[in-house]
Amino acid sequence: MQWSTDWGLRGRMGLTMFLLFALYIAFIAVLSQFANLLGIVIAMGAFSFIQYFYSDKMALYSMGARTVEESEAPELHRTIERLSQQADLPKPQVAVADSQVPNAFATGRNQQNATVAVTNGLLRTLDQEELEGVLAHELAHIKNRDVMVMTIASFLSTLAFIVVRWGWLFGGNGRNQAPVYVAIIASLVVWVISFFLIRALSRYREYSADRGAASITGNPGALASALMSISGRMDKVPQDDLREQAEMNAFFIIPIRSGFIGKIASTHPPTEKRIEKLRELEREQELA
């Protein structure tokens, strides 16, 4: 089922990416004045390539998830295969994490090398329609190439952080330290601004994945119901389990927030706003 384009969402996403691009151009212009920092750029480029290429394995390892064969989880495999066909995607690998936290995530460097992972807590929490809504959301992330987009968007931000932390080691010596301090201050400004821009971009892409899920299943209400079920279940999960997995927030269907800072710097929009937009799509479907 096709949905009308959300031009407001696309506009906000485009503006955020433009601001990031402009910020990074200015950052590169400043760094180009300091040849001694070239080593950092090369090292970070190599690190980012490795991170991108092995993102699926690192994410699964961090979550304690393992890939499962069809014989181990036949119904889950059948559901993902059917939804993949509806999304016009190759079937991804399927993984399950032994966790009480009801959540799911997608990872992988491209559509041909992707994995959709779910937790046992999610499988116990949702009914079939809700589960399909969540799995379709993760497939929409794969279709939108969000791992690649966010890796590219984060590259120079990560570089800026490294310069702030270690840039003084690569600068001049004696009375020639001033340019190094300029580079470090510029990097700090870039890192702070890009931190919030990248999280805004991530939130917009979550909205986009929600719309994609509604398009794949033709049932936006199922994902809205799933988000409510997961959000309600989070209150019953032990705090130790939530803290242990909080570092994977960017991957999850619903983030595990930690305090005030965790909320204002969230990689996901408020769950209630996501549900509201899905209900709007549901009304559009009824009127069509």
pLDDT in tens, the chain (288 residues): 555 667 788 888 899 999 999 998 888 888 777 655 666 667 777 777 787 788 888 889 888 899 999 999 999 999 999 999 999 999 999 999 998 889 999 999 899 999 999 999 999 999 999 999 999 999 999 999 998 898 888 888 888 888 888 776 665 555 566 777 888 888 899 999 999 999 999 999 999 999 999 999 999 999 999 999 998 876 655 555 545 555 554 555 665 555 555 555 788 898 999 999 999 999 988 887
93-99-104 Cα angle (round to 5):
45
Alpha-carbon distance 34 to 268, whole Å? 36
Residue 79, classed as helix, strand or coil, is helix
Cα dihedral sign for 31, 36, 42, 48?
Answer: negative
Is 138 among the catalytic positions? yes
Q: Which of 70, 81, 132, 138 is catalytic?
A: 138
Alpha-carbon distance 261 to 69, whole Å? 39
Beta bridge partners of residue 96, listed in sequence order: 66, 118
Cβ-contact 136, 116 below 8 angstroms: no
Alpha-carbon distance 263 to 267, whole Å? 9
Q: What is the pTM (predicted TM-score) of this model?
A: 0.85
* Residue 37 amino acid letter: L
Between strands 93-97 and 113-119, the pairing is: parallel
